[in-house]
Each structure stands twice: as structure tokens, then as C-alpha cells.
Chain A
Amino acid sequence: MAFLTLTNVSKMFGSASAVEDFNLDVEKGEFVSFLGPSGCGKTTTLRMIAGFELPTSGAVSLGGEDITYKSPNQRNVGMVFQSYALFPNMTIGQNIGFGLQVRKTSKDEIKKRVGDMLSLVHLEQHIDKYPYQLSGGQQQRIALARALAFSPQVLLLDEPLSALDAKIRVELRLEIRRIQQAMGITTVYVTHDQEEALSLSDRVVVMSQGRMEQVGTPAQIYNYPSTEFVAQFVGQLNLLPVSDVDVAQASCLVGGQTVHFDHSSVKMLSEKPRLAIRPEELQIGEGDGRNMLKGRVDSVMFLGAVVRLRVEVGGAKFSADLFNERSMTLPRAGDEVLISFPVHACWLM
């Protein structure tokens, strides 16, 4: 039986639908991310789990108990906020111990637990400081320690790294995953950053306009997107117009040249199908792929670890991502090139 369950959960604000028919089972100890653009309903869904919003319909259950209408302070759910929400009038030690104090834990036990939490986030020397004396990254680690101190059943994180700079974000997300795995706590994480979602999660829920688009492991979401939105939102994607689709042969024309695609995508054809392929699947020159197209280089962008080429093939424009190598000779705009890619790398949408 799942540990955290959302069943047909919907939320309306007036006549506007923020979340529609959301169903999800989360296993104990699992790390699940809600991923989507701003306004897709991911934070609203998280807030319904926390109890800060009441569902218009549907149910939320935790550990077999229906908590749909329970007040937030009775759910035993720890939450980390984007703005950290540390109490400015309390020291770091008092902040972390607050949840235990509310539960009337003994002073000795609070002291021990606070010490343990500070060790977990490697901030032992800051126990008597106030939040304003710490950096953003340190404050967010303290917020995490505070949310975990009273051993909640579920940990909820609402875009906890959004306010931090890129380098700190990468460091801290590794910390979060390490701590989550060490404690084995069921976690729901909201983010609009796909790198965060893919690197941290056991499963990802991609959302758009209040609806679930797809649920799956990071590899499933990335390699086998079930909708155009997921394919385009997660990672980069080439979407190219096609003509003369031959279902039996699983082939079509792109820019006047023949392309063979993944046969399993044929059953999902739309009225105006397009060829989908990730930029990193393309090779320049004769590769080991069955598909080989002649084109002209439109532009070359050096992005550091990756070099992005825009190649025109009979009016259709491909983006190809190549790993940078020091000895690499980059093609120039106007050069004639061959693009190759395997059949399984592309599919029709």
C-alpha cells in the first residue's frame, strides 16, 4: 500500500482550475518531484498535501489515514520554503528545536536532537547565531534541519533552491539527496528546474496547466516522453515537419530526404505529425546511425562542454549537440555536412 496517496484531487480558485484530477501514490522513502512551468499547479498540489489549501474535491491520505481536512499543525509533515522562513527572533538552535518544543519534548532531548541535526547539515558552530548572520545556503540547510528535527512522516520542499546562486544550488541539492537517503524519509519536491528534478528524484511528475502530463523515472520521462509538452519541456528537442509518412515502412520525408523512425511511435500519430529527436542523438559525419542526411551548417555556438550546431536540411532546421573536445575542428557556417542518427533515436509525435 502506498504511503502517501492523492486520489482525484482537484482545486478551483473561483472559476479557475489550478489542479485537475491529480492521482499519485508515493511509496515510503521515495523521492518524488513535481516538475513544470510557473502556474502549472505543482505548488498548489504541495500545499494541499501540507494542509495550507483545501482540495475542492478528492482526498489526501498519509500512512493509511485520511488527512484531507486535517489542519496543517496536526499532519506531522515537515516543510521547507523557498524563502527559508526561519524565525528572525530565534537563534539557529531555537529554530531547529521549535517543532520539538511545541511537542513538549524534554529540554535534554531537544538539545541532543538539535545537535544531531546541526551535525547532519555540518553547521554545528552556528547554533547560537541568528538567521540574518548566515548566508542563503546556510539558512536553507538550517530550514531543512528544522523540518527534519521532529521526525516528520513526509518532507515537503517548495522550490527550496530557487533563491540561491547556481553553484550553491548544485552543492545543496546533493546535500538534500544525501540527507533524504540517509534518513529514508518520503519526500515531495517542487521545482521548475529540470536538472534538479532529474538528478534528485526516484520519480518525476511533469505537470502542465493543472494536469499531470506524465509520471515516471527520470530516464523514462526524458527518453520516452508521452506527450509533446513533456518532450519539449524536459531537455532540448528537435521537432521537424514531415511529409509522405509511410506507416508500414516507418519512414517519412524530412526536407525532401528519407528518415526511418521508431516504429512504436506510429500508434501515437497526431493529425500533423512531426519528427522528434534530441540534439545529443545527432552525429556530424558518417556515424553508426541508419539515417544520414545532407545539410548545410547555419550557425555554430560554443557553450563550453557542449557545441551546438544548427544545420539546415532542405528547409528543416536541426539542432545538434556535440561534446566539446580540445582537438575538435569545428565546422563553420555554410559548410556542407552529413547528419547521422539511429532509428530508435527519433519518433513521430
Chain B
Amino acid sequence: MAAQMKRNTFWSWLWVAIGVAYFFVPLIATFDFSLRAKKGVLSFLAYERVFNDPAFWKTFIFSLEMGVVTILFSILLVVPTAYWIRLRLPQLRVMVEFITMLPFVIPAIVLVFGLIRVFSGGPFYLTNTAMGTNTLLVAAYTVLTLPYMFRSVDTGLAAIDVRSLTEAAQSLGAGWGTILFKIIFPNLRVAILSGAFLTLATVIGEFTIASFLVGINAFGPYMSLIGQNKTYESSSLAIISFLMTWAFLGIMQLLNRGKSADGLAGAR
């Protein structure tokens, strides 16, 4: 029995080692390459060049701003929608879930072409101004990240007794605005933040839509340009992108752990 268990443990660890190697070996190789910008010695020269490049900060901050605006718009769109479907229109659930899955199916190039075709001409002319193209960019990102935000929020709503909380608030005299902002949003804090970080990670690295609408003003196209011209810097950018994504995921994990410690009161 003990020998059998030892064998099972060995195979489990072997497969874990193979999986870790499959994932980390290319990363380690990329990281190693990024340290070789200075001939004959390992250094962070490539990283220094990236962080000293004004274009890096300009494009990163631009994409960050677009990410934050996308998150705010998504929250205001998705949270009330998901809430209302749970509360009053459960029969629409299947259709809405289908719609939120469409961004996985429709390629980004199709989305951006559609947006340009519809909104570049009259009566909108949105591509004539920076504000207009930025608005289109946010709209495109909102669609692109809809599956992540909707799923996060919907999962959060499933964990709370939305109907009883709403009715309790109504019986106490609250209107819809108070219910949404004082009861629903605070109880979806963790779910919203999870969706927000997934949205931000997607927006920061997105290439197709950004390159058609704003060109190299965004971080995704900037990374692509660097990749074509500067080998060591492109490797360092890849590592920086990974680190940023892991940081977002780490924050999400910390927040989710906080949620399970709080617990949700009430009889089920």
C-alpha cells in the first residue's frame, strides 16, 4: 500500500515537473536573453533602455488610462445588467450569456473594421478626432473584455441572495440607486475587482484594435514595434508584461482570499 502511494506521488511530481518546465523554460530562456544586451556580461541594460524610453511610459500610461476608462464603463454597463437579469429577467439569461461569449468568437480585426466603417462616416465622424478614436477604442475594449467582466460579476451575484437583499432594502425604504450603490456594488467588490484586473491585463497588451485606431500610441503596438527592431529590449518587454500580468493575478488572489475570510451571512 505504502509502495503504491509512493509510486503515485512520484508520477504526480513528474507530471508537475514536466508542466513547469514546459512553461518556465522558454521564460527563463527569454529572461536570460534579455540580460545579454551588454556583450560578455549579464546586465539589466535592456531593461534600463526600456524604462528610459519616453515612448514606453507614454504608451503604457495611455493604455493604462484606456484600461481604467474601459473598466469604469464596463462596471456601469455590466453590473446593473447582470443584476436585473438575475432579479427580474432570468428567462433572458441564456441569450445574454450567448452575447457575452461572442467576443471569443468574433476576431478583433472584424470588430475594429466594423467600428471604423460605421463610425468614421456621417453622422458620427469619430475617427476625425483623438477624442473620437479614443472613445471607439474604449467601446471596442468594453466588447472585447465583456466575457471576463460579465462572468466575474455574475459569479459574484450568484454568491449573494440578490432577491432577498433587494427586497429587504426596498422594505426599509431604499430606491434603486441606493440599492445598487449601497448594497449591490459593495457586495460585489471582489467580483468587480477580479473582472477589472482581467480587463486591465487584456487592454494593456492588446494589439489589433489599438494599432488600427491609435497606432503606436498604445502599448501593444509599441511592444510590437520594439520587437521588430530591438531584440534584447523586446525580450525585456516580454518579461515585464509577464510580471505585470502575474502582479494583477496575485492581487486578484489576495482579494479573493479576503472574501472567503469575510464569509457571507444568512440562511440558505
Contacts from A to B (Cβ < 8 Å)? 50-52, 71-74, 76-79, 81-89, 98-99, 102-103, 130-132, 134, 136, 139, 146-147, 150, 156, 163
Q: Which 7 residue pairs across A and B have the least CB separation, nearest first?
A: A131-B265, A163-B267, A99-B172, A132-B263, A85-B168, A85-B164, A89-B186
Supposing A83-B164, A131-B266 touch, asked if A89 and B171 sit within 8 A by C-beta, the answer is: no
Q: Which residues of B sit under 8 angstroms from A89, Cβ to Cβ?
A: 183, 186-187, 189
- Indicate with 1 or 0, residue by residue over B124-155, a CB within 8 angstroms of chain A CB atoms: 00000000000000000000000000000000
* Cα of A216 to Cα of B174 in the assembled complex, Å: 36
Is B266 touching A86 in the complex (CB atoms < 8 A)? yes
Cβ of B121 within 8 Å of any chain A Cβ, yes or no, is: no
Q: Which residues of A contact B183 (CB under 8 A)?
A: 87, 89
Docked Cα-Cα span, A87 to B187, in Å, equals: 8
Query: CA separation between A77 and B170, bound complex, in Å?
Result: 10
B265 touches A88 (CB 8 A): yes
From A86, which residue of chain B is reached at the shortest CB distance?
B265
Known A-B contacts A81-B164, A83-B164, A130-B262; the reply to A72 vs B170 at CB < 8 A is yes
- A-B contact list, 15 entries, CB within 8 Å: A50-B167, A52-B167, A73-B171, A73-B175, A81-B164, A83-B266, A85-B164, A85-B266, A87-B165, A87-B169, A87-B183, A98-B169, A98-B172, A132-B265, A136-B267
Bound form: Cα–Cα A139–B263 in Å: 14
Contact A99 B173 (CB under 8 A): yes
User: Is the Cβ of A79 less than 8 Å from the Cβ of B160?
Assistant: no
Q: Which residue of A79, A84, A99, A147 contacts B266 across the interface (Cβ within 8 Å)?
A: A84
Q: A131-B266, A139-B265 are in contact. Are A85 and B165 (CB under 8 A)?
A: yes
Given A102-B172, A131-B265, A146-B172, answer yes or no on A88-B187 (Cβ-Cβ < 8 Å): yes
How would residues 156 to 198 of chain B score, 1 for a CB under 8 Å from any chain A CB and 0 otherwise? 0000110011011111111100100001001101000000000
Contact between A73 and B170, CB atoms less than 8 A apart: yes
Question: B268 in the interface, Cβ–Cβ < 8 Å?
Answer: yes
Query: Closest A-chain residue to B164, C-beta based?
Result: A85
A residues within 8 A CB of B165?
85, 87
Say if the beta carbon of B42 comes within 8 Å of chain A.
Answer: no
Contacts of A163 in B (CB 8 A): 267
Chain B hits for A82, CB < 8 A: 267
A147 contacts across to B, CB distance below 8 A? 171-172
- Which partner residue on chain A sits nearest B263 by CB separation? A132
Chain B residues contacting A99 (CB-CB under 8 Å) are: 172-173
Q: How far is the CA of A150 from the CA of B172 in the complex (A)?
A: 8
Residues from chain B with a CB closer than 8 A to the CB of A85 are 161, 164-165, 167-168, 266
* Distance of A132 Cα from B159 Cα, bound (Å): 14
Given contacts A81-B167, A83-B266, 16 further A-B contacts (CB under 8 A): A52-B167, A52-B170, A78-B171, A83-B161, A83-B268, A84-B266, A85-B165, A85-B167, A89-B183, A89-B186, A102-B174, A130-B265, A132-B264, A132-B265, A136-B267, A147-B172
Nearest B-chain residue to A152, judged by Cβ: B171
Bound complex: CA A86 to CA B183 (Å): 10
Residues of A within 8 A of B186 (CB): 89
Contacts of B169 in A (CB 8 A): 87, 98
Q: Known: A85-B161, A89-B183. Contact between A132 and B173, CB under 8 A?
A: no
A156 to chain B, nearest CB (A): 8
Contact mask for chain B residues 225-268; partner A; CB cutoff 8 A; 1 contact, 0 none: 00000000000000000000000000000000000001111111
How far apart are the CA atoms of A50 and B167 in the complex, in Å?
A: 9
Asked whether, in the complex, the Cβ of B267 is within 8 Å of the Cβ of A84, the reply is yes
Q: Which of A77, A84, A87, A131 contacts B171 (CB 8 A)?
A: A77
Chain A residues near B161 (CB-CB < 8 A): 83, 85
Q: Are B175's CB and A83's CB within 8 A? A: no
Complex CA distance for A244 and B162, rounded to whole angstroms: 60
> Is the CB–CB distance between A73 and B265 below 8 Å?
no
Q: Is the CB of A79 within 8 A of B264?
A: no
Task: Point out the residues of chain B lying under 8 angstroms from A88, CB to CB.
Answer: 160, 187, 262-266
Could you tell me the distance in whole angstroms from the C-beta of B89 to the nearest C-beta in chain A? 16
Residues in A neighbouring B189, C-beta threshold 8 A: 89
CA distance A87 to B262 in the complex (A): 13
The CA-CA distance from A103 to B169 in the complex, in Å, is: 12
Measured between beta carbons, the chain B residues less than 8 angstroms from A136 are 267
CA distance in complex: A211, B208 (Å): 64
Q: Which of B169, B170, B178 has the most CB of A within 10 A?
A: B170
